Structure 1
Amino acid sequence: MSSAISATRFSVLDRSRVRAGHDGPGALRDTVRFAQQAEALGYHRFWVSEHHSVPGVAGSAPTVLAAAVAAATSTIRVGTGGVMLPNHQPLVVAEQFGVLESLFPGRIDMGLGRSVGFTDGIRRALGHGKKDAEEFATLVAELLGYFSGEQSAHPHVHARPAEGLRIPAFVLATGAGAQVAAAAGLPLVIAAVRGEGEMLRAVDGYRDAFRPSAWGEQPYVVLSGTVAVAATTEQARRILLPEAWSTAYSRTHGEFPPLAPAETIAGLRMTERERALFDEAQRGQLHGTEDEVADGLEKLIDRSGADEFLVTTSTYDRAALLDSYRRLARITASR
């Protein structure tokens, strides 16, 4: 068995992507069913995300969806990847997670991000702007203070039933997220958005700057990325085409279209810019047969020293997606 893979936890992030010909409510129900399947396959966590007014993405209220997922499962950890803290008041977030942990003790994770709304209009509707992301470290400290009962921003204000509970908290490494995680002594969730080299430098910086805290004695790194496994390399590549095209389309049209079948994507006539963005969206993704993916994962985990891998794959064909996760679970259990 690969020592790198066998020592690493594998988890799932589902964004509740809408498929062509389907609707948002169906995508949310698919997420709940997918969590049950991930639990049966032995994955460690199942996280949901926060997106506001984004076409093609149904996941807008992560704590509400996390409650539905936790109620439909029994052993898998459930959390958010993440709650975008600048969009919310820390007191309300603490209260929501306090309720989740009280109802599902020992199974809830609190993943926190610093992103704000997708457009100026969404930010205005949320009552926040880009500058709010700059207050992320302060917001994190206030939020954690509600759990410890030591927050000083609002004296005599207590988060019920959160106070006294200890829920694992994670920071998503967007912007200054890695520095915030290190300073607060929290686990880091990071993806190779700007390339593997920059990601690895951020991981090293996080470990060097990490300050032990009541929330974490040692650095803990969760790599996040897209992985597709199939019987052949080409079949695995086709699993990734719908999300890659959706990402490329969003860069030119400002919205994510519903995920279309791979054969539809393969037959599209793209402009030169669309083709370049489509190719770019496929870089850094890991796909192939079980042997090929196992080799790629082992090398990536060895280079990064990651403690956990959060798989974020989406596609139109849910049967192919489930088969990919099933094959990946087999890799992590037997290789």
Structure 2
Amino acid sequence: MTTRPVPISLLDRSRTRAGEPTALALHDTVERARRAEELGFDRIWVAEHHAVPGIASGSPPLLMAAIAARTERIRVGSGGVMLPNHRPIVVAEQAKMLAALHPGRVDLGVGRSLGFTAPVRDALGVHDYGPDDFAGDVSALADLLADAGPVTAMPKGVPAPPLFVLATGSGLAVAARLGLPVVVGGPLVHGDLTPLADYRAAFRPRHPDDAPRVLVSVDVLVADAPARARDLVLPEAWAMVESRTTGAFPPLRPEPALRLTARQQEQVERHLDQVVHGTVTDVAEQLTAIVERTAAAEVLAFSSTHDRAALRDSDAALATLHP
């Protein structure tokens, strides 16, 4: 396969590491964003998770503000703000404040995920939130960002930051109806492409220049040898297996916390199959195949591993594939 440069951005989830202060993960995210700018990446996004031991990022706007203050050029976005947890006017005003302070550098990705466990959902005060609720909130948010809502989200007159929908099947339908770009991952990257075709066919532009746009979210790690890349993927795979056993997504560890059963080892292998990893040539071929298969405009790489130096090297190698 002939490889070509692939538009690539980073998503950092502020992964914690066993035995370290949780807050260190947030400093890691800011430092990674600074390096990403030096490497020439155009965009870095941060996530929203609540009461998850393995993820320190619970407030994308606060982390976006910290990153934007430490960088000069790179776009900073949310991947994403979860609308069940926030009223649209609050999300709009936070995004517009960031856009006013850092013009042309703010992206707003939104999703509809609830808390992972019942106690977290209780703490957030959200239990029932369906596709219609999400559609209504996204529509209200888009209007508020454009100074077209029933009230004025301040500051007024700030160019609306680009709005993206983190989409599953129902989210794709919402995005198509509202004429918004989407971020997809998992089965929508590796499986049936019919939902993406439906999104493109049903797309209704809000503005004359609007067109369907798909970003694919992919777990990516690069190393100087395939076996080394596989080793770097394992801490995340072990965490996934542990979460299925204990019900809590844990910090990254250099070794598995559990003595893996045969079934758990199979789960590790299935996770490895979903990760783009290998040498820079291997990864270039795999990403090119994904982009060509999905007709994606961009790859959003959410790499993570326990070894910080290896992650830095992986980012540097990945940057060589970015146009």
**TM-score, structure 2 normalization:** 0.94
Matches within 5 A, 1:210-221: 210-214=203-207, 217-221=210-214
- Residue deviations 1:51-73, cap 9 Å, x none? 01111110001100000001011
- Residue deviations 1:74-130, cap 9 Å, x none? 100001000001110111111101110010010000000111111121112112113
Give the one of 211, 236, 249 matched to 2:242: 249
- Residue deviations 1:226-282, cap 9 Å, x none? 111111000111111011111121122111111011xx23x9621233223222222
- Which residue in 2 is equivalent to 1:136? 134
Question: What is the identity, as a one-letter code, of the residue corresponding to 1:171?
Answer: V
Q: Taking every aligned residue pair, what percent have the same amino acid on both sides? A: 46
Cα distance in 1 for residues equivalent to 2:210 and 2:56: 36
SS in 2 for 1:16: coil
CA contact (8 A) 1:99 1:162 kept: no
Matches within 5 A, 1:39-50: 39-50=37-48
Question: What is the identity, as a one-letter code, of the residue corresponding to 1:22?
Answer: E
Matches within 5 A, 1:68-87: 68-87=66-85
- Which residue in 1 is equivalent to 2:297? 307
Question: What is the identity, as a one-letter code, of the residue corresponding to 2:247?
Answer: G
- Which residue in 1 is equivalent to 2:276? 286
Cα distance in 1 for residues equivalent to 2:261 and 2:48: 31
CA contact (8 A) 2:230 2:272 kept: no
CA contact (8 A) 2:169 2:195 kept: no
Mark the CA change 1:193 to 1:23 in structure 2 (over 3 Å): closer, same or farther: farther
Give the one of 20, 23, 28 matched to 1:22: 20
- Residue deviations 1:108-154, cap 9 Å, x none? 00000111111121112112113356410100011111122333xxx
- Which residue in 1 is equivalent to 2:197? 204
- Which residue in 2 is equivalent to 1:178? 172
Matches within 5 A, 1:1-335: 5-6=4-5, 8-131=6-129, 134-151=132-149, 155=150, 157-162=151-156, 165-193=159-187, 196-198=190-192, 200-214=193-207, 217-261=210-254, 264-265=255-256, 269-333=259-323
Structure 1 segments (4+ residues) deviating >3 Å: none
**TM-score, structure 1 normalization:** 0.91
Cα distance in 2 for residues equivalent to 1:250 and 1:319: 25
Cα distance in 2 for residues equivalent to 1:255 and 1:174: 23
CA contact (8 A) 1:222 1:310 kept: yes
Q: Paired residues, what number?
A: 323
- Residue deviations 1:299-333, cap 9 Å, x none? 11111111100000111001101101111111335
Mark the CA change 1:257 to 1:164 in structure 2 (over 3 Å): closer, same or farther: closer
Tell me by how many angstroms 1:162 deviates: 4.9
Gaps of 5+ in 1: none
Cα distance in 1 for residues equivalent to 2:125 and 2:21: 27
